[in-house]
Every structure is written in structure tokens, then in C-alpha cells.
Structure 1
Amino acid sequence: MEKYLITSREFYTDTPAIFRNIVHEQFTQHEPTYALYRDKSNPNYDVQAAHFVEVCNQFGTIKSFIHRDVKLAKSLEATGVHLTSTQFDEIQKAKELGLEVIISTHTHNEVLKAKELGADAVTYSPIFASPGKGEPKGIDDLKELLQKHEVKVFALGGIVEEEQIKAIEETKAYGFASIRYFY
């Protein structure tokens, strides 16, 4: 099962040298196969994103994704872009630029739409209770989704313990994504 590490300013800071060290430590400890730079409030987002892609490249096995910004992902030569659930119209543009696309989804219909528009994978959330993310969907809903649609799904939301990861693994999801598990 694939691991998708998502950064957060809360855990990773916006000071470049400290950020690089923390990211490097977390990559070494957790060995994710995918990683997303996500910081909605950093005034130096472009600079920090460049540091993030450089650290991913040092590992050689981690696919680097930039949150929301297709042009920035392309200019930094990131592996891809992680789009929000309001950016379905950006999938084709990102694909034309040679980027892999992961998009956030919250309903079965959004997952189907993402697949039809050519997204490489989706995050589907929240699976477990997560602060400010609404009612959790649960493992049974995730299983139902995976039975209906053949798409790479990263389970997301409230994943902080090994038993949750084992439950996700049993669903045959492509992987899991988390902020708090990886910190």
C-alpha cells in the first residue's frame, strides 16, 4: 500500500532550513512514495515548494506534488499537482503539461468524475474523524467505492494509528494519505 505524506505549516514550519530538515527526517523515517507540499498561508510558497521538490529529488523514490498550482508544479519539475475538489477543470491542463494529477474527492460521484477526466489518482475523505472535516465516511463506504470504481484511491482523513492503516489496507485501497500520521 502506497504512503502519501502531506505537509502542514503546523508541523513543518515555514523557515526554509528547518523545513528542509524536518521533511528530510520524516521522509527517512516513514519512507513515503508520494509527498505533497501544502501550505495555504505561506507568503513564500514558491520558495518553500522549490525546497520541497529538491528534498524529494534527493530521495529519488518519492513522487513530489504541489498543492493547487499547476504552473508552479510544472516550473519546479515536480512529479505532479494535487488539485482541490473545486479544480476539476484543471485536470486536462495539468495532464497536457505532463504532470501526474491527484485530486481531492468527497463523494462517489466526484471519484467517477475525476476518473473520467483523466486524474491519475484521488484522495477520498474523510475516512475517519478529522478536525473540521465533517462526518467520517468510514471503512464500509470506502470498500463500497472501491468495488464500484477501478481508480487509484488514497484514503484520507483522521489516519493517525496503525490499526486504521491496517483497516484501509484490507479494503484494497491504493494507499493512504495523512498529515498527522507522518509527524
Structure 2
Amino acid sequence: MRKPIKAYLITEPTLYPKTPSEFHDFYIRILQKHSIDFAAYRDKESHFSPALMEVFLNLNRSYGISSLLNSNLDLALEFGFDGVHCNGTQIRQIKAAREKLPLVFFSAHSLQEIQEADKQGANGITISPIFKTPNKGTPLGIDFLNSIEPKNLKAELFALGGIITQAQLQEIATTKIQNFASIRYFLG
């Protein structure tokens, strides 16, 4: 029997409010609407706001959601995140991060990267882009997801990229991949 699909929310600072009270109200509406298993606080410009991270962490704790911080192990440890999400250039940091945090995810864009991240000990691996998404190149597609054998990997796999509709989730559910991650899906 197929296990339930897991949901992984990833924030995007350009799409979220900037003040703690507005962020709180905005984010709590998302949490009330969606069932989320993992959430990553992401800020690719590295302007991590301590006040926003505290709101993020506190709300996730109250909803039983595991919190990851994108690309910054030191801040993840300092603020008490459950894990870190390593970007494509941080594959060699997975083992060290696993020694310090229970959850280490990785962003993969090819089968080779998936296999290497799994070998390094990642708990979760996002695979992207699956569907067309702004500034991310040619989508890997549903056929790519079907070509992966999750049973040969220790890490959980998450389809990512351009996932904004329920129809796309239904397409993913027909594949061997059990989970999805998205930025924009949770905003709708």
C-alpha cells in the first residue's frame, strides 16, 4: 500500500511579508489551510531576519512541523532549527551537518546528484525542476520521476519546481516519488 504523500513548504522572501506580525498572520493562514510535514526558511540573499525566523520556528513547533534553514548550518544551530537544507554547492557539507542536526536535505537536479547526496547521508532530497518554473531551465518532468527507484535510496525524495496546482500533485502521486516540495503551491 502506498504511504501518504508528504508536503514540504519552502519560503521565498519576495512573496512573504517583512514584519514579524504580518509574517505571523500570513504564515498561520498557510498552516491552517495546508497539511505540512517539513518547512524551510529560505533567503538566498542571506538576509536572515532573526525576528521572522523566530515566528517561523514557533508556529512550526505549534503545528508539529519540522523546520529547516536553507544553506546556513551555523544559523540553523544557533536558532534551534531541526535541520538544514543544503544547496547544490554544499553536497560535501551533508556529512558534517548530519553530525550536528537530525535533518539534512539537499537540492538535486540530476540522478547523479541524487545518488551522491544519498551516499553522503541526506535525509531528504528535492528533485527539480519537475514542471516549468521561472528561471530554472528545462523541466525534468514526470518521466524523470518515474525513472528513479526510491527503494534503492535511504533518503526521502521530494518533487520540486513549478508545482502550483492540485492537478500537478495528482500527476506526482502517480509516480514512485512519495513527496512534494513547493514555494508557490502553498500560497494559493
The TM tier, using the shorter chain, reads: over 0.9
SS of the residue corresponding to residue 54 of structure 2 reads: helix
- The match for 2:21 is 17
Report if aligned partners of 1:14, 1:42 keep a CA contact under 8 Å in 2. Answer: no
The yes-or-no answer on 1:88 pairing with 2:91 is: yes
- The match for 1:171 is 175
SS of the residue corresponding to residue 93 of structure 2 reads: helix
The yes-or-no answer on 1:118 pairing with 2:121 is: yes
| 1:98-177 alignment, distance < 5 Å | 98-146=101-149, 149-150=152-153, 151-177=155-181
Evaluate the alpha carbon distance shift between residue 42 and residue 147 of structure 1 in structure 2; reply closer, same or farther with a 3 A threshold.
closer
Match of 2:10 among 6, 12, 15: 6
TM-score normalised to structure 2 length: 0.91
- The match for 1:48 is 52
- Unmatched 5+ residue regions in structure 2? none
Evaluate the alpha carbon distance shift between residue 41 and residue 97 of structure 1 in structure 2; reply closer, same or farther with a 3 A threshold.
same
SS of the residue corresponding to residue 87 of structure 1 reads: helix
The yes-or-no answer on 1:37 pairing with 2:44 is: no
Amino acid aligned to 2:66 = K
Amino acid aligned to 1:127 = I
Could you list the per-position Cα deviations for residues 35-94 of structure 1 after superposition, in whole angstroms to 9, with x for gaps in the alignment? 1111223635333222211111111x2111111011111222211111101001211121
**How far off its partner does 1:173 sit?**
1.2
Report if aligned partners of 1:5, 1:179 keep a CA contact under 8 Å in 2. Answer: yes
**How far off its partner does 1:145 sit?**
1.8
SS of the residue corresponding to residue 137 of structure 1 reads: coil
- Identity over aligned pairs, percent: 36
State how far apart, in whole Å, the 1-side matches of 2:162 and 2:105 are.
Answer: 19
The yes-or-no answer on 1:181 pairing with 2:185 is: yes
**How far off its partner does 1:32 sit?**
0.7
Evaluate the alpha carbon distance shift between residue 34 and residue 148 of structure 1 in structure 2; reply closer, same or farther with a 3 A threshold.
closer
- Unmatched 5+ residue regions in structure 1? none
Amino acid aligned to 1:161 = T
State how far apart, in whole Å, the 2-side matches of 1:149 and 1:134 are.
Answer: 27
Number of residue equivalences: 182
Amino acid aligned to 1:81 = V
TM-score normalised to structure 1 length: 0.93
Amino acid aligned to 2:85 = H
